[in-house]
Structure 1
Amino acid sequence: MKKEKLIMKKIAVVTGASSGIGKEVAKSLQQNGYQVIGGARRVEAMADLKDLGIEIAHLDVTEAGSRETFIQDILNEYGRIDLLVNSAGYGSFGALEEVTLDEARRQMDVNVFGIIGLIQLILPTMRAQKSGRIINISSLAGQSYTPLGGWYHASKHTLETLSDVLRVELKPFGVDVVVVEPGNTATNWQGTAVGRLLEATPKDSPYRALTEGVANTLQNSNATVADVAKVVLKASEVRNPKIRYQIKFQEKVSVQLMKFIPGKLVDRLVTRLVR
Protein backbone atom coordinates (compact mmCIF):
# COMPACT_ATOMS: atom_id res chain seq x y z
CA MET A 1 0.00 0.00 0.00
CA LYS A 2 1.41 3.37 -0.96
CA LYS A 3 2.24 5.82 1.81
CA GLU A 4 -0.80 8.11 1.97
CA LYS A 5 0.85 10.53 4.38
CA LEU A 6 3.45 11.39 1.72
CA ILE A 7 0.93 12.05 -1.03
CA MET A 8 1.65 15.80 -0.97
CA LYS A 9 5.41 15.39 -0.96
CA LYS A 10 7.42 15.19 -4.13
CA ILE A 11 9.37 11.95 -4.46
CA ALA A 12 13.07 12.46 -5.16
CA VAL A 13 15.55 9.73 -6.01
CA VAL A 14 19.25 10.43 -5.45
CA THR A 15 21.99 8.06 -6.57
CA GLY A 16 25.49 8.05 -5.13
CA ALA A 17 23.94 8.99 -1.77
CA SER A 18 26.57 7.28 0.36
CA SER A 19 29.06 10.16 0.23
CA GLY A 20 30.06 13.54 -1.16
CA ILE A 21 27.70 15.46 -3.39
CA GLY A 22 25.04 12.75 -3.49
CA LYS A 23 24.74 12.53 0.28
CA GLU A 24 24.57 16.31 0.71
CA VAL A 25 21.98 16.62 -2.05
CA ALA A 26 19.84 13.92 -0.42
CA LYS A 27 19.96 15.79 2.90
CA SER A 28 19.16 19.14 1.30
CA LEU A 29 16.17 17.85 -0.63
CA GLN A 30 14.74 16.02 2.41
CA GLN A 31 15.11 19.12 4.56
CA ASN A 32 13.27 21.15 1.92
CA GLY A 33 10.13 19.06 1.78
CA TYR A 34 10.90 16.17 -0.55
CA GLN A 35 10.65 12.52 0.36
CA VAL A 36 14.06 11.27 -0.67
CA ILE A 37 15.12 7.75 -1.53
CA GLY A 38 18.89 7.42 -1.59
CA GLY A 39 20.65 4.67 -3.48
CA ALA A 40 24.26 3.48 -3.36
CA ARG A 41 26.33 0.32 -3.25
CA ARG A 42 27.47 0.98 0.32
CA VAL A 43 24.17 0.95 2.19
CA GLU A 44 25.93 1.09 5.56
CA ALA A 45 27.43 4.47 4.62
CA MET A 46 23.91 5.90 4.31
CA ALA A 47 22.76 4.84 7.80
CA ASP A 48 22.87 8.44 9.08
CA LEU A 49 20.41 9.52 6.40
CA LYS A 50 17.67 7.42 7.96
CA ASP A 51 17.60 9.77 10.97
CA LEU A 52 16.42 12.51 8.60
CA GLY A 53 13.59 10.38 7.23
CA ILE A 54 15.43 9.48 4.04
CA GLU A 55 14.82 5.98 2.77
CA ILE A 56 17.94 4.11 1.71
CA ALA A 57 18.40 1.16 -0.59
CA HIS A 58 21.14 -0.78 -2.30
CA LEU A 59 21.89 0.33 -5.85
CA ASP A 60 24.68 -0.67 -8.20
CA VAL A 61 24.10 1.43 -11.29
CA THR A 62 26.22 -0.94 -13.39
CA GLU A 63 23.91 -3.92 -12.78
CA ALA A 64 20.61 -4.05 -14.67
CA GLY A 65 18.94 -6.20 -12.01
CA SER A 66 19.96 -3.80 -9.24
CA ARG A 67 18.61 -0.81 -11.18
CA GLU A 68 15.33 -2.56 -11.90
CA THR A 69 14.76 -3.67 -8.31
CA PHE A 70 15.63 -0.23 -6.96
CA ILE A 71 13.19 1.65 -9.21
CA GLN A 72 10.40 -0.92 -9.01
CA ASP A 73 10.50 -0.91 -5.21
CA ILE A 74 10.13 2.89 -5.22
CA LEU A 75 7.21 2.77 -7.65
CA ASN A 76 5.54 0.00 -5.64
CA GLU A 77 5.78 2.13 -2.50
CA TYR A 78 5.07 5.63 -3.78
CA GLY A 79 3.55 5.23 -7.23
CA ARG A 80 5.50 8.14 -8.72
CA ILE A 81 8.94 9.73 -9.09
CA ASP A 82 9.12 13.50 -9.42
CA LEU A 83 12.86 14.05 -9.37
CA LEU A 84 15.88 11.94 -10.24
CA VAL A 85 19.34 13.25 -9.32
CA ASN A 86 22.08 11.14 -10.88
CA SER A 87 25.10 11.69 -8.67
CA ALA A 88 26.74 8.27 -8.79
CA GLY A 89 30.08 8.29 -10.55
CA TYR A 90 33.85 8.27 -10.18
CA GLY A 91 36.94 9.64 -11.92
CA SER A 92 39.41 7.44 -13.76
CA PHE A 93 42.61 9.21 -14.74
CA GLY A 94 45.72 8.12 -16.59
CA ALA A 95 47.49 8.44 -19.93
CA LEU A 96 45.41 7.11 -22.81
CA GLU A 97 48.40 4.96 -23.76
CA GLU A 98 48.36 3.25 -20.37
CA VAL A 99 44.74 3.05 -19.24
CA THR A 100 43.39 -0.42 -20.01
CA LEU A 101 40.30 -0.69 -22.14
CA ASP A 102 38.65 -2.67 -19.35
CA GLU A 103 39.05 0.34 -17.05
CA ALA A 104 37.84 2.66 -19.81
CA ARG A 105 34.71 0.55 -20.22
CA ARG A 106 34.08 0.63 -16.48
CA GLN A 107 34.38 4.43 -16.47
CA MET A 108 31.77 4.69 -19.20
CA ASP A 109 29.61 2.02 -17.58
CA VAL A 110 29.36 3.89 -14.26
CA ASN A 111 29.31 7.47 -15.54
CA VAL A 112 27.14 6.96 -18.63
CA PHE A 113 25.41 3.63 -19.16
CA GLY A 114 24.36 3.20 -15.52
CA ILE A 115 22.78 6.66 -15.54
CA ILE A 116 20.95 6.14 -18.83
CA GLY A 117 19.80 2.73 -17.62
CA LEU A 118 18.10 4.36 -14.62
CA ILE A 119 16.59 7.09 -16.74
CA GLN A 120 15.07 4.51 -19.10
CA LEU A 121 13.37 2.85 -16.13
CA ILE A 122 11.78 6.00 -14.73
CA LEU A 123 10.70 7.67 -17.98
CA PRO A 124 7.48 5.67 -18.53
CA THR A 125 6.30 6.88 -15.11
CA MET A 126 7.31 10.50 -15.68
CA ARG A 127 5.69 10.54 -19.12
CA ALA A 128 2.48 9.13 -17.66
CA GLN A 129 2.57 11.83 -14.96
CA LYS A 130 3.27 14.46 -17.64
CA SER A 131 5.82 15.86 -15.21
CA GLY A 132 9.21 15.18 -13.74
CA ARG A 133 12.76 16.44 -13.64
CA ILE A 134 16.09 14.71 -14.19
CA ILE A 135 19.27 16.34 -12.92
CA ASN A 136 22.50 14.81 -14.15
CA ILE A 137 25.57 15.70 -12.10
CA SER A 138 28.24 16.19 -14.71
CA SER A 139 31.37 18.31 -14.22
CA LEU A 140 33.25 21.20 -15.77
CA ALA A 141 35.08 18.26 -17.37
CA GLY A 142 32.00 17.89 -19.57
CA GLN A 143 32.95 21.07 -21.42
CA SER A 144 36.74 20.89 -21.25
CA TYR A 145 39.74 18.58 -21.36
CA THR A 146 42.98 18.10 -19.44
CA PRO A 147 45.97 15.77 -19.78
CA LEU A 148 45.45 12.31 -18.26
CA GLY A 149 41.70 12.89 -17.95
CA GLY A 150 40.73 11.39 -21.30
CA TRP A 151 38.21 8.77 -20.24
CA TYR A 152 36.74 10.85 -17.43
CA HIS A 153 36.25 13.83 -19.75
CA ALA A 154 34.84 11.53 -22.43
CA SER A 155 32.28 10.15 -19.97
CA LYS A 156 31.13 13.63 -18.95
CA HIS A 157 31.05 14.97 -22.52
CA THR A 158 28.93 11.94 -23.43
CA LEU A 159 26.60 12.46 -20.48
CA GLU A 160 26.10 16.09 -21.43
CA THR A 161 25.33 15.29 -25.07
CA LEU A 162 22.85 12.60 -24.04
CA SER A 163 21.27 15.08 -21.61
CA ASP A 164 20.83 17.58 -24.45
CA VAL A 165 19.15 14.94 -26.61
CA LEU A 166 16.91 13.80 -23.74
CA ARG A 167 15.89 17.38 -23.00
CA VAL A 168 14.55 17.82 -26.53
CA GLU A 169 12.95 14.36 -26.69
CA LEU A 170 11.17 14.76 -23.36
CA LYS A 171 9.94 18.35 -23.63
CA PRO A 172 6.58 17.30 -25.17
CA PHE A 173 5.96 15.11 -22.13
CA GLY A 174 6.58 17.79 -19.50
CA VAL A 175 9.86 16.28 -18.30
CA ASP A 176 12.86 18.59 -17.74
CA VAL A 177 16.50 17.55 -18.07
CA VAL A 178 19.15 19.66 -16.35
CA VAL A 179 22.94 19.36 -16.14
CA VAL A 180 24.88 20.54 -13.08
CA GLU A 181 28.62 21.04 -13.60
CA PRO A 182 30.68 21.20 -10.39
CA GLY A 183 34.35 22.05 -10.60
CA ASN A 184 36.87 20.67 -8.10
CA THR A 185 34.79 20.03 -4.99
CA ALA A 186 36.05 18.93 -1.58
CA THR A 187 34.90 15.30 -1.42
CA ASN A 188 36.33 11.79 -1.17
CA TRP A 189 36.16 11.73 -4.97
CA GLN A 190 39.44 13.62 -5.15
CA GLY A 191 41.38 11.26 -2.92
CA THR A 192 40.04 8.23 -4.74
CA ALA A 193 40.84 9.67 -8.17
CA VAL A 194 44.36 10.67 -7.12
CA GLY A 195 45.01 7.30 -5.48
CA ARG A 196 43.88 5.43 -8.58
CA LEU A 197 45.99 7.66 -10.83
CA LEU A 198 49.21 7.28 -8.85
CA GLU A 199 48.71 3.54 -8.42
CA ALA A 200 47.98 2.98 -12.10
CA THR A 201 51.00 4.96 -13.36
CA PRO A 202 54.33 3.12 -12.93
CA LYS A 203 57.23 5.04 -11.42
CA ASP A 204 59.18 4.53 -14.67
CA SER A 205 56.28 5.67 -16.88
CA PRO A 206 57.10 8.45 -19.35
CA TYR A 207 53.96 10.12 -17.97
CA ARG A 208 54.97 9.92 -14.29
CA ALA A 209 56.05 13.58 -13.93
CA LEU A 210 52.83 14.73 -15.58
CA THR A 211 50.90 12.35 -13.33
CA GLU A 212 52.25 13.99 -10.19
CA GLY A 213 51.31 17.43 -11.50
CA VAL A 214 47.77 16.31 -12.32
CA ALA A 215 47.48 14.64 -8.91
CA ASN A 216 48.32 17.93 -7.19
CA THR A 217 45.79 19.81 -9.32
CA LEU A 218 43.02 17.30 -8.60
CA GLN A 219 43.45 17.83 -4.86
CA ASN A 220 42.63 21.53 -5.12
CA SER A 221 39.03 22.47 -4.39
CA ASN A 222 36.98 25.58 -5.13
CA ALA A 223 33.64 24.51 -3.68
CA THR A 224 32.04 22.43 -0.94
CA VAL A 225 29.33 19.81 -1.25
CA ALA A 226 26.97 22.32 0.39
CA ASP A 227 27.65 24.75 -2.47
CA VAL A 228 26.73 22.09 -5.01
CA ALA A 229 23.64 20.95 -3.08
CA LYS A 230 22.37 24.53 -3.00
CA VAL A 231 22.57 24.73 -6.80
CA VAL A 232 20.91 21.33 -7.21
CA LEU A 233 18.06 22.43 -4.95
CA LYS A 234 17.59 25.57 -7.05
CA ALA A 235 17.63 23.51 -10.25
CA SER A 236 15.06 21.18 -8.70
CA GLU A 237 12.58 23.86 -7.69
CA VAL A 238 12.78 26.70 -10.20
CA ARG A 239 9.85 26.74 -12.61
CA ASN A 240 11.91 27.02 -15.78
CA PRO A 241 15.36 25.59 -15.09
CA LYS A 242 18.43 26.51 -17.08
CA ILE A 243 19.99 23.88 -19.30
CA ARG A 244 23.27 23.95 -17.37
CA TYR A 245 24.35 25.22 -13.96
CA GLN A 246 27.89 25.87 -12.75
CA ILE A 247 28.65 26.37 -9.07
CA LYS A 248 31.03 29.33 -8.70
CA PHE A 249 31.04 32.64 -10.55
CA GLN A 250 34.55 32.11 -11.90
CA GLU A 251 33.47 28.74 -13.29
CA LYS A 252 30.55 30.36 -15.11
CA VAL A 253 32.95 32.88 -16.62
CA SER A 254 35.51 30.25 -17.62
CA VAL A 255 32.88 28.15 -19.41
CA GLN A 256 31.86 31.16 -21.49
CA LEU A 257 35.45 32.16 -22.26
CA MET A 258 36.33 28.65 -23.46
CA LYS A 259 33.91 29.13 -26.37
CA PHE A 260 36.02 31.94 -27.79
CA ILE A 261 39.61 30.85 -27.07
CA PRO A 262 41.50 29.22 -30.00
CA GLY A 263 42.16 25.51 -29.56
CA LYS A 264 45.95 25.74 -29.49
CA LEU A 265 45.77 28.37 -26.77
CA VAL A 266 43.49 26.09 -24.76
CA ASP A 267 46.09 23.32 -25.14
CA ARG A 268 48.75 25.58 -23.62
CA LEU A 269 46.47 26.71 -20.81
CA VAL A 270 45.40 23.24 -19.71
CA THR A 271 48.98 21.98 -19.91
CA ARG A 272 50.21 24.87 -17.75
CA LEU A 273 47.53 24.13 -15.15
CA VAL A 274 48.97 20.70 -14.37
CA ARG A 275 52.70 21.42 -14.52
Structure 2
Amino acid sequence: MALKSAGFITYATARNPQTLSDLVAKGCHVLQLDLTSEASMLAAVRSIEAKHGAISVLVNNAGYNQIGPLEELTMEEIRCQFETNVFGLLRMCQLVLPGMRSQGYGRIINVGSIGGTFTTPGNGAYHASKYAVESFTDALRYEVQPFGVEVILIQPTGVRTPFVEKLYALMPQTGSDSPYAAFKQNIEAQVQQMFGGNAWGILTPEDVAQVIVQASLVRRPQTRYKVGLGGKIFFWVRRLLPDRAWDALMSRMFPMGEVSGSKTHRKAAPIKDFNAMN
Protein backbone atom coordinates (compact mmCIF):
# COMPACT_ATOMS: atom_id res chain seq x y z
CA MET A 1 0.00 0.00 0.00
CA ALA A 2 2.90 2.38 0.59
CA LEU A 3 3.76 2.41 -3.12
CA LYS A 4 0.11 2.87 -4.07
CA SER A 5 -0.18 5.79 -1.65
CA ALA A 6 2.93 7.31 -3.23
CA GLY A 7 1.16 7.39 -6.59
CA PHE A 8 2.41 4.23 -8.28
CA ILE A 9 0.21 1.85 -10.24
CA THR A 10 0.99 -1.08 -7.99
CA TYR A 11 0.75 -4.82 -8.57
CA ALA A 12 1.05 -7.04 -5.53
CA THR A 13 1.75 -10.69 -6.21
CA ALA A 14 1.39 -13.97 -4.37
CA ARG A 15 1.09 -17.68 -5.10
CA ASN A 16 -2.51 -17.36 -3.95
CA PRO A 17 -3.85 -13.91 -4.94
CA GLN A 18 -6.91 -14.42 -2.70
CA THR A 19 -4.65 -13.71 0.27
CA LEU A 20 -4.29 -10.14 -1.08
CA SER A 21 -7.99 -9.26 -1.14
CA ASP A 22 -7.46 -6.44 1.37
CA LEU A 23 -5.08 -4.75 -1.08
CA VAL A 24 -7.62 -4.99 -3.90
CA ALA A 25 -10.11 -3.13 -1.71
CA LYS A 26 -7.52 -0.36 -1.31
CA GLY A 27 -6.90 0.03 -5.03
CA CYS A 28 -3.97 -2.27 -5.73
CA HIS A 29 -3.89 -4.75 -8.57
CA VAL A 30 -3.03 -8.34 -7.72
CA LEU A 31 -1.53 -11.14 -9.78
CA GLN A 32 -0.71 -14.78 -9.27
CA LEU A 33 3.05 -15.29 -9.13
CA ASP A 34 5.06 -18.34 -8.12
CA LEU A 35 8.80 -17.69 -8.07
CA THR A 36 9.50 -21.38 -8.56
CA SER A 37 7.54 -21.44 -11.84
CA GLU A 38 9.00 -19.99 -15.05
CA ALA A 39 5.56 -19.92 -16.68
CA SER A 40 4.06 -18.01 -13.75
CA MET A 41 6.82 -15.40 -13.74
CA LEU A 42 6.60 -14.89 -17.50
CA ALA A 43 2.83 -14.55 -17.40
CA ALA A 44 2.93 -11.95 -14.60
CA VAL A 45 5.49 -9.72 -16.31
CA ARG A 46 3.86 -9.98 -19.73
CA SER A 47 0.44 -9.19 -18.29
CA ILE A 48 1.67 -5.95 -16.74
CA GLU A 49 3.72 -4.91 -19.77
CA ALA A 50 0.74 -5.53 -22.06
CA LYS A 51 -1.38 -3.10 -20.03
CA HIS A 52 1.14 -0.46 -18.98
CA GLY A 53 4.29 -0.88 -21.03
CA ALA A 54 7.65 -1.50 -19.42
CA ILE A 55 7.75 -1.91 -15.65
CA SER A 56 9.35 1.06 -13.91
CA VAL A 57 9.97 -0.40 -10.46
CA LEU A 58 10.36 -4.03 -9.46
CA VAL A 59 10.38 -4.87 -5.75
CA ASN A 60 11.67 -8.37 -5.09
CA ASN A 61 10.58 -9.22 -1.58
CA ALA A 62 9.46 -12.85 -1.63
CA GLY A 63 11.37 -15.19 0.63
CA TYR A 64 11.33 -17.45 3.64
CA ASN A 65 13.70 -18.90 6.24
CA GLN A 66 14.46 -22.61 6.02
CA ILE A 67 15.49 -22.97 9.63
CA GLY A 68 17.42 -25.92 11.06
CA PRO A 69 20.91 -27.39 11.49
CA LEU A 70 22.57 -27.90 8.11
CA GLU A 71 23.28 -31.59 8.77
CA GLU A 72 19.57 -32.27 9.23
CA LEU A 73 18.29 -30.31 6.23
CA THR A 74 17.65 -32.31 3.09
CA MET A 75 19.25 -31.13 -0.12
CA GLU A 76 15.73 -30.65 -1.50
CA GLU A 77 14.93 -28.25 1.36
CA ILE A 78 18.09 -26.27 0.67
CA ARG A 79 17.37 -26.16 -3.07
CA CYS A 80 13.85 -24.89 -2.37
CA GLN A 81 15.32 -22.15 -0.18
CA PHE A 82 17.47 -20.97 -3.08
CA GLU A 83 14.72 -21.38 -5.70
CA THR A 84 12.58 -18.79 -3.92
CA ASN A 85 15.10 -16.51 -2.22
CA VAL A 86 17.71 -16.38 -4.99
CA PHE A 87 16.85 -17.90 -8.36
CA GLY A 88 13.30 -16.57 -8.49
CA LEU A 89 14.53 -13.11 -7.52
CA LEU A 90 17.21 -13.12 -10.21
CA ARG A 91 14.81 -14.42 -12.86
CA MET A 92 12.36 -11.62 -12.14
CA CYS A 93 15.20 -9.14 -12.67
CA GLN A 94 16.01 -10.75 -16.01
CA LEU A 95 12.39 -10.60 -17.15
CA VAL A 96 11.84 -6.90 -16.45
CA LEU A 97 15.23 -5.67 -17.68
CA PRO A 98 14.54 -5.69 -21.47
CA GLY A 99 11.62 -3.29 -20.96
CA MET A 100 13.57 -1.09 -18.57
CA ARG A 101 16.50 -0.90 -20.99
CA SER A 102 14.23 -0.01 -23.90
CA GLN A 103 12.65 2.88 -22.00
CA GLY A 104 15.99 4.04 -20.62
CA TYR A 105 15.15 3.90 -16.94
CA GLY A 106 13.95 1.67 -14.15
CA ARG A 107 14.61 0.57 -10.60
CA ILE A 108 15.06 -2.90 -9.22
CA ILE A 109 14.75 -3.04 -5.44
CA ASN A 110 15.87 -6.33 -3.92
CA VAL A 111 14.80 -6.94 -0.34
CA GLY A 112 17.65 -8.90 1.15
CA SER A 113 18.42 -8.95 4.84
CA ILE A 114 20.98 -7.73 7.31
CA GLY A 115 21.43 -11.51 7.56
CA GLY A 116 23.34 -11.27 4.29
CA THR A 117 26.22 -9.67 6.21
CA PHE A 118 26.65 -12.18 9.07
CA THR A 119 25.55 -15.71 9.92
CA THR A 120 23.77 -17.15 12.95
CA PRO A 121 23.70 -20.86 13.84
CA GLY A 122 20.63 -22.79 12.77
CA ASN A 123 19.99 -20.41 9.88
CA GLY A 124 22.80 -21.34 7.51
CA ALA A 125 20.62 -22.03 4.47
CA TYR A 126 18.76 -18.77 4.88
CA HIS A 127 21.88 -16.67 5.42
CA ALA A 128 23.59 -18.30 2.43
CA SER A 129 20.64 -17.30 0.24
CA LYS A 130 20.85 -13.72 1.47
CA TYR A 131 24.60 -13.60 0.85
CA ALA A 132 23.82 -14.68 -2.70
CA VAL A 133 21.31 -11.83 -3.06
CA GLU A 134 24.02 -9.40 -1.94
CA SER A 135 26.39 -10.65 -4.64
CA PHE A 136 23.81 -10.76 -7.44
CA THR A 137 22.64 -7.26 -6.56
CA ASP A 138 26.17 -5.85 -6.63
CA ALA A 139 26.96 -7.38 -10.02
CA LEU A 140 23.63 -6.39 -11.53
CA ARG A 141 23.93 -2.80 -10.29
CA TYR A 142 27.17 -2.36 -12.21
CA GLU A 143 25.98 -4.14 -15.34
CA VAL A 144 22.71 -2.27 -15.90
CA GLN A 145 23.64 1.22 -14.69
CA PRO A 146 24.71 2.29 -18.23
CA PHE A 147 21.13 1.63 -19.39
CA GLY A 148 19.62 3.99 -16.81
CA VAL A 149 18.55 1.20 -14.46
CA GLU A 150 19.25 1.50 -10.72
CA VAL A 151 19.59 -1.62 -8.56
CA ILE A 152 19.09 -1.14 -4.83
CA LEU A 153 19.40 -3.51 -1.88
CA ILE A 154 17.22 -3.21 1.24
CA GLN A 155 18.69 -4.88 4.34
CA PRO A 156 16.09 -5.10 7.10
CA THR A 157 16.66 -6.61 10.50
CA GLY A 158 13.89 -8.85 11.94
CA VAL A 159 10.35 -7.89 10.93
CA ARG A 160 7.23 -8.95 12.81
CA THR A 161 5.02 -10.68 10.22
CA PRO A 162 3.12 -14.00 9.93
CA PHE A 163 6.35 -15.27 8.40
CA VAL A 164 7.74 -15.77 11.90
CA GLU A 165 4.99 -18.16 12.98
CA LYS A 166 5.75 -20.40 10.00
CA LEU A 167 9.37 -20.90 11.03
CA TYR A 168 8.76 -23.75 13.44
CA ALA A 169 6.92 -25.84 10.87
CA LEU A 170 10.06 -25.78 8.72
CA MET A 171 12.35 -27.09 11.47
CA PRO A 172 13.48 -30.67 10.73
CA GLN A 173 11.53 -32.99 13.05
CA THR A 174 14.22 -35.52 13.95
CA GLY A 175 13.08 -36.43 17.46
CA SER A 176 14.61 -36.31 20.91
CA ASP A 177 17.50 -38.57 19.86
CA SER A 178 18.82 -35.93 17.50
CA PRO A 179 22.25 -34.56 18.51
CA TYR A 180 20.72 -31.14 17.81
CA ALA A 181 17.54 -31.59 19.90
CA ALA A 182 18.52 -29.13 22.66
CA PHE A 183 19.98 -26.73 20.13
CA LYS A 184 16.69 -26.61 18.21
CA GLN A 185 14.74 -26.00 21.42
CA ASN A 186 17.07 -23.10 22.22
CA ILE A 187 16.54 -21.71 18.73
CA GLU A 188 12.76 -21.74 19.20
CA ALA A 189 13.05 -20.10 22.62
CA GLN A 190 15.22 -17.32 21.22
CA VAL A 191 12.88 -16.62 18.29
CA GLN A 192 9.96 -16.35 20.69
CA GLN A 193 11.96 -13.99 22.87
CA MET A 194 13.14 -11.95 19.92
CA PHE A 195 9.73 -11.48 18.30
CA GLY A 196 7.40 -11.68 21.28
CA GLY A 197 5.78 -8.89 23.23
CA ASN A 198 7.71 -5.65 23.26
CA ALA A 199 10.92 -7.09 21.85
CA TRP A 200 13.47 -4.38 21.13
CA GLY A 201 14.61 -3.62 17.60
CA ILE A 202 12.00 -5.62 15.67
CA LEU A 203 10.52 -3.75 12.71
CA THR A 204 7.00 -3.53 11.36
CA PRO A 205 6.29 -4.11 7.64
CA GLU A 206 5.45 -0.41 7.41
CA ASP A 207 8.98 0.50 8.54
CA VAL A 208 10.45 -1.39 5.60
CA ALA A 209 7.79 -0.18 3.15
CA GLN A 210 8.66 3.44 3.90
CA VAL A 211 12.29 2.80 2.95
CA ILE A 212 11.23 1.03 -0.26
CA VAL A 213 9.14 4.04 -1.24
CA GLN A 214 12.05 6.36 -0.49
CA ALA A 215 14.36 4.23 -2.64
CA SER A 216 11.75 4.29 -5.43
CA LEU A 217 11.34 8.07 -5.46
CA VAL A 218 14.64 9.71 -4.53
CA ARG A 219 16.60 11.06 -7.48
CA ARG A 220 19.86 9.33 -6.53
CA PRO A 221 19.15 6.34 -4.31
CA GLN A 222 21.67 4.71 -2.03
CA THR A 223 22.98 1.35 -3.18
CA ARG A 224 22.07 -0.17 0.21
CA TYR A 225 19.56 0.75 2.89
CA LYS A 226 20.06 -0.87 6.29
CA VAL A 227 16.73 -0.79 8.12
CA GLY A 228 16.59 -1.19 11.90
CA LEU A 229 19.08 -0.26 14.60
CA GLY A 230 19.56 -3.84 15.79
CA GLY A 231 20.74 -4.98 12.39
CA LYS A 232 23.17 -2.08 12.10
CA ILE A 233 24.66 -2.96 15.48
CA PHE A 234 25.11 -6.63 14.56
CA PHE A 235 26.64 -5.62 11.23
CA TRP A 236 29.36 -3.60 12.94
CA VAL A 237 29.90 -6.12 15.72
CA ARG A 238 30.52 -8.83 13.13
CA ARG A 239 32.94 -6.64 11.21
CA LEU A 240 34.93 -5.80 14.33
CA LEU A 241 35.07 -9.23 15.97
CA PRO A 242 37.48 -11.94 14.80
CA ASP A 243 35.86 -15.27 13.90
CA ARG A 244 36.54 -17.00 17.22
CA ALA A 245 35.11 -14.09 19.21
CA TRP A 246 32.01 -14.09 17.00
CA ASP A 247 31.68 -17.87 17.48
CA ALA A 248 31.82 -17.38 21.24
CA LEU A 249 29.08 -14.75 21.07
CA MET A 250 26.92 -17.06 18.94
CA SER A 251 27.45 -19.96 21.35
CA ARG A 252 25.96 -17.82 24.10
CA MET A 253 23.04 -16.74 21.97
CA PHE A 254 22.39 -20.15 20.43
CA PRO A 255 23.78 -22.79 22.81
CA MET A 256 23.99 -26.37 21.65
CA GLY A 257 22.59 -27.57 24.98
CA GLU A 258 22.97 -27.04 28.69
CA VAL A 259 25.96 -24.98 29.74
CA SER A 260 27.61 -25.53 33.12
CA GLY A 261 24.55 -27.36 34.36
CA SER A 262 22.22 -24.45 33.70
CA LYS A 263 19.83 -24.24 30.81
CA THR A 264 20.80 -21.59 28.39
CA HIS A 265 18.62 -20.49 25.58
CA ARG A 266 18.96 -17.99 22.89
CA LYS A 267 17.88 -17.71 19.32
CA ALA A 268 18.06 -16.44 15.83
CA ALA A 269 16.48 -13.81 13.60
CA PRO A 270 14.09 -14.32 10.68
CA ILE A 271 12.86 -11.71 8.16
CA LYS A 272 10.05 -10.60 6.02
CA ASP A 273 8.05 -10.81 2.86
CA PHE A 274 6.12 -8.94 0.17
CA ASN A 275 6.49 -8.92 -3.58
CA ALA A 276 5.32 -5.94 -5.56
CA MET A 277 5.78 -4.94 -9.16
CA ASN A 278 5.13 -1.53 -10.50
1:254 CA displacement: 2.9
- What residue is the counterpart of 1:103 in the other structure? 77
Count of paired positions: 248
1:253 CA displacement: 3.4
1:230 CA displacement: 1.3
- Structure 1: give runs of 5+ residues left out of the alignment: 1-26
Greater RCO (CA < 8 Å, at least 6 residues apart): 2
Q: Which amino acid aligns with 1:246?
A: K
Q: Deviations along 1:176-212, whole A, 9 cap, x unmatched?
A: 1111111111111111112311x53423211111111
1:217 CA displacement: 2.4
- What residue is the counterpart of 2:145 in the other structure? 171
Answer yes or no: is the 8 Å Cα contact 1:146–1:271 preserved in 2: no
1:115 CA displacement: 0.8
> What is the alpha-carbon distance in structure 2 between the residues aligned to residue 239 and residue 269 of structure 1?
40
Are 1:33 and 2:7 matched, yes or no? yes
- What residue is the counterpart of 1:69 in the other structure? 43
Answer yes or no: is the 8 Å Cα contact 2:157–2:230 preserved in 1: no
Are 1:214 and 2:214 matched, yes or no? no
Are 1:234 and 2:218 matched, yes or no? no
- After TM superposition, the structure 1 = structure 2 runs for residues 66-215 of structure 1, keeping only pairs within 5 Å, are 66-197=40-171, 199-215=172-188
- What residue is the counterpart of 1:268 in the other structure? 248
> What is the alpha-carbon distance in structure 1 between the residues aligned to residue 174 and residue 155 of structure 2?
28
- Change in Cα spacing, 1:260 to 1:30, as seen in structure 2 (3 Å) is same
Q: Deviations along 1:145-201, whole A, 9 cap, x unmatched?
A: 01111111110000111000001111111111111111111111111112311x534
1:70 CA displacement: 0.5
Q: Deviations along 1:130-151, whole A, 9 cap, x unmatched?
A: 1111111111111110111111
> What is the alpha-carbon distance in structure 1 between the residues aligned to residue 150 and residue 212 of structure 2?
14
Are 1:57 and 2:61 matched, yes or no? no
> What is the alpha-carbon distance in structure 1 between the residues aligned to residue 42 and residue 77 of structure 2?
24
Answer yes or no: is the 8 Å Cα contact 1:71–1:121 preserved in 2: yes
1:258 CA displacement: 2.1
Are 1:259 and 2:239 matched, yes or no? yes
> What is the alpha-carbon distance in structure 1 between the residues aligned to residue 71 and residue 234 of structure 2?
29
Does 122-131 or 217-226 show the bigger shift?
Answer: 217-226
Higher fraction of helix? 1
Q: Deviations along 1:202-232, whole A, 9 cap, x unmatched?
A: 2321111111111222332311111111111
Question: Percent same amino acid at aligned positions?
Answer: 36
CA RMSD across the alignment: 1.3
1:95 CA displacement: 1.0
Q: TM-score, normalised by structure 2?
A: 0.86
